[in-house]
C-alpha cells in the first residue's frame, strides 16, 4: 500500500502497455460501446497505467476525470465483504455461525415450508439459496410480487423492510447445495449493522474505507461532490442512451431486468444496499484491492485475505464463467484453460452493472480497475475481455 500511494500521484506508463490499453479504450469509445472510462493498472504496487477517457456527461460535454465518481452497483460487494472479514479477523463475527444470531427475524424457508439455516459464509459465497429480482423471467415472479428491491431503485423502504420481503420468498435451494448470485450481500450488510450496532455506512467507514483513506467511497454522494458523479448510459444503437430517471435494463435475455433509479446515489435516505448501493472512485477501489493483494494490512492478517480469496465453491460458480468458482465476496479463477483466460489460477474478479470490471492476479502482482459509465459493455462486454488481453499481451505482467 505504501508503495502504491505515491504512484497514484505520479506513476509510470510503459509505452507498450499504454499503447495496447489505450487502443482498447479508444476503440470502445469510437465504436460507441462506451461513453467514458477510467482505467488503472498496478503491478507490484506501482501504478503503471492510468487513463481517464471519453465523457462523464455527454450532453453537458463534461470530460471524464480520474477522480470522477461512479455508482458502483456490485462493486459494492467486495467492499462490504471486506468489512465483514475485518469483523471476522477481530473475532466479532464468525463465518460459520448462523445469520439468525444477528437477525432473528430473518428466517426464509424452503419451498416446502421447512426451515433452513443460513451461515455468514453462505451469504458471502452466494450459496445461501437466495436470488435476485432481476433474474425473474417477468415482472410477476415471487421477488417482484413481494416488492423486493435489488438495491438500485428507490423503493422508499428501509433495509429491514427489504429483508422482511426477501425472507417472505421461499429459498431457491437448500443453503450450501448450489450457487446462485443473489441479494445475499444485502443481508450481510444487515449482519454487519447488528454486529457493529451502527448503520452500515458508518460501519464500512470505520472498518474499511476510513483506515484506507477511501474518502470518495460511501452509500451516497453529498451536494458538494454531486458534480463529480458520472452520468449513466445504457448500450443502444447507434449510440448509448442516457439512463432515464426510472429505467429497466435486462442483464440476461429473457429476464425482467434491473430496475434503476440513478438519483439513488444522491439520496442519503435510500437504504444502504450492501450488494449494489455504494458510490466511489476507481482510485479508491484500487487502494482496497492493493491492500488485499499485498496481504491485508492494516485491515486484517494475511490468513484472512487468503481465506477471502480462495475458491470456496469448487466447480460451482457463475454459469457464464467456466473455470470460475467463488470466494468470500468475488469470483476466483480455478481453471484458466476452461475460462479461455491468460489470468493465473486464483485470480479474483468481479464487476458492477453500471459498467465496471476489476481483477487481481496475485501471482503476477497485478491489480486492474476499469470503471465506465456505460452498461453493460463496461461490465461484461467486449471491452472487458479486450482490456484483459491487452494487459497480459503488453509483457509487463511476465514473471
Question: For residue 26, which of 53, 58, 57 has the smallest C-alpha distance?
Answer: 53
> Which cell is 69 given?
465518481
Pair 232, 379: CB distance under 8 Å = no
The residue from 2, 3, 18, 74 that is catalytic is: 74
Question: For residue 42, which of 364, 377, 380, 341 has the smallest C-alpha distance?
Answer: 364
Query: Is residue 220 reached through a cis peptide bond, with omega within 30 degrees of 0 on the bond before it?
Result: no
CA 339 – CA 336 distance, rounded (Å): 5
Question: For residue 272, which of 209, 182, 349, 199 has the smallest C-alpha distance?
Answer: 199
Pair 309, 346: CB distance under 8 Å = yes
Question: 25 vs 20, 53, 144, 391, CA distance in Å?
Answer: 9, 8, 37, 12
Count how many Cα atoms sit within 13 Å of the Cα of residue 155 in the half-sphere of its side chain. 20
CA 311 – CA 241 distance, rounded (Å): 38
Pair 263, 155: CB distance under 8 Å = no
Q: How far apart are the first and last CA of the chain?
A: 21
> Which cell is 347 given?
485470480
Please say if 74 is a catalytic residue. Answer: yes
* DSSP 8-state symbol, 207: I
Question: For residue 142, which of 166, 165, 164, 169 has the smallest C-alpha distance?
Answer: 169
**Backbone phi, psi, residue 263, to 5°:** -70, -15
Pair 319, 126: CB distance under 8 Å = no
158 DSSP β-pair partners: none
Active site residue ranges: 74
Amino acid at each position: 500500500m505504501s508503495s502504491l500511494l505515491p504512484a497514484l500521484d505520479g506513476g509510470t506508463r510503459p509505452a507498450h502497455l499504454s499503447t495496447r490499453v489505450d487502443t482498447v479504450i479508444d476503440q470502445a469509445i469510437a465504436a460507441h460501446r462506451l461513453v467514458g472510462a477510467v482505467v488503472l493498472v498496478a503491478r507490484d504496487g506501482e501504478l503503471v497505467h492510468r487513463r481517464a477517457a471519453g465523457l462523464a456527461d455527454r450532453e453537458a460535454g463534461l470530460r471524464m476525470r480520474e477522480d470522477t465518481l461512479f455508482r458502483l452497483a456490485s462493486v459494492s460487494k467486495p467492499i462490504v465483504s471486506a468489512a465483514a472479514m475485518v469483523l471476522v479477523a477481530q473475532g466479532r463475527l464468525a463465518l460459520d455461525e448462523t445469520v439468525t444470531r444477528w437477525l432473528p427475524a430473518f428466517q426464509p424457508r424452503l419451498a416446502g415450508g421447512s426451515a433452513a439455516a443460513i451461515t455468514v459464509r453462505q451469504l458471502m459465497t452466494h450459496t445461501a439459496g437466495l436470488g435476485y429480482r432481476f433474474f425473474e423471467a417477468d415482472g410477476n415472479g415471487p421477488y417482484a410480487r413481494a416488492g423486493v428491491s435489488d438495491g438500485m431503485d428507490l423503493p422508499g423502504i428501509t433495509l429491514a423492510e427489504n429483508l422482511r420481503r426477501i425472507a417472505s420468498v421461499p429459498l431457491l435451494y437448500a443453503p450450501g447445495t448450489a450457487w446462485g448470485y443473489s441479494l445475499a450481500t444485502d443481508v450481510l450488510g444487515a449482519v454487519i449493522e447488528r454486529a457493529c450496532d451502527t448503520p452500515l455506512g458508518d460501519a464500512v467507514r470505520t472498518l474499511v474505507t476510513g483506515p484506507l483513506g477511501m474518502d470518495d467511497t460511501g452509500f451516497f454522494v453529498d451536494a458538494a461532490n454531486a458534480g463529480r458523479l458520472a452520468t449513466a448510459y445504457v448500450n443502444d444503437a447507434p449510440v448509448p442512451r442516457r439512463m432515464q430517471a426510472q429505467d429497466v435494463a435486462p442483464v440476461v435475455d429473457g429476464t425482467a431486468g434491473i430496475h434503476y433509479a440513478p438519483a439513488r446515489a444522491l439520496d442519503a435516505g435510500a437504504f444502504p444496499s450492501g450488494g449494489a448501493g455504494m458510490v466511489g472512485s476507481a482510485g479508491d477501489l484500487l487502494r482496497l484491492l492493493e491492500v488485499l493483494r499485498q496481504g491485508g494490512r492494516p485491515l486484517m492478517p494475511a490468513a484472512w485475505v487468503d481465506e477471502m480469496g480462495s475458491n470456496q465453491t469448487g466447480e460451482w460458480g457463475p454459469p457464464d464463467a467456466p473455470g470460475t468458482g467463488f470466494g468470500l465476496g468475488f469470483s476466483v479463477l480455478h481453471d484458466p484453460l476452461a475460462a479461455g483466460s491468460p489470468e493465473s489460477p486464483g485470480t479474483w474478479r468481479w464487476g458492477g452493472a453500471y459498467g465496471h470490471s476489476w481483477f487481481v492476479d496475485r501471482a503476477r502482482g497485478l491489480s486492474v480497475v476499469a470503471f465506465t459509465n456505460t452498461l453493460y459493455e463496461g461490465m461484461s462486454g467486449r471491452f472487458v475481455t479486450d482490456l484483459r488481453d491487452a494487459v497480459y499481451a503488453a509483457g509487463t505482467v511476465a514473471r
